[in-house]
Amino acid sequence: MTTDEALTIIAQQNKTLTSQNEMLIFLAARLVWKPEELVEVVMANKKKDPEAYVTVYNACDGRTTGKQLAEIAGVSQPAMSGVLQGWLEDGIVLNVGTESQPRYRRLMKLPEKRKTEKKAKQSNAEPAQTEAVQAEPIPQETEKKVEVQQ
């Protein structure tokens, strides 16, 4: 086996492990948090456009910078840093970067009321009748498979 082949195999295994870890984090988060409860935590104590913070939370993909997240929320970078630090302490995001260059990853994607209302307006539906999209429930078979693998 050549060095290139070995490195390719290691890279593939790393990608597989990363994917499996993300799935385990998602499943564990679903056991602890209902999406609606997590939305309430994300929007708590946000005076300026609390709905924007749901969009910010969903943008926490491990690649988006704090500056970019601040732009989404329409706040300063120091203000966003405080929010992200609070979310980290609350255990609703993970720092997948470094201490000096943190990158945050959400536990799960949350329903966004704004996007749902925008789609409703485009399809001429009444926005007042529009509800936030609910996350899909975990199929029972998936839960059983996870238990068996433990």
pLDDT at 60 over 70: yes
pLDDT of residue 140: 45
List pLDDT tens digits, range 72-113.
999 999 999 999 999 999 989 999 999 899 999 998 999 987
Percent of the chain with pLDDT over 90: 49
Cα 78 to Cα 44: distance, rounded to the nearest angstrom? 18
Whole-prediction pTM: 0.65
Burial 45-81 (b: 16+ CB within 10 A, else e): ebeeeeebbbbbbbbbeeebebeebbebbebeeeebb
Residue 69 has pLDDT above 50, yes or no: yes
Of 40, 39, 47, nearest to 79 by C-alpha is 47
> Reduced to 3 states, what is the DSSP secondary structure of residue 91?
coil
Topology at the third CATH level for domain 34-110: Arc Repressor Mutant, subunit A (1.10.10)
Q: Which tokens go with 3? A: 């060095």
Tell me the two tokens of residue 59: 């943008």
* pLDDT tens readout for residues 2-39: 999 999 999 999 888 888 887 887 788 888 888 899 99
**pLDDT tens digits along 134-144:** 444 444 444 43
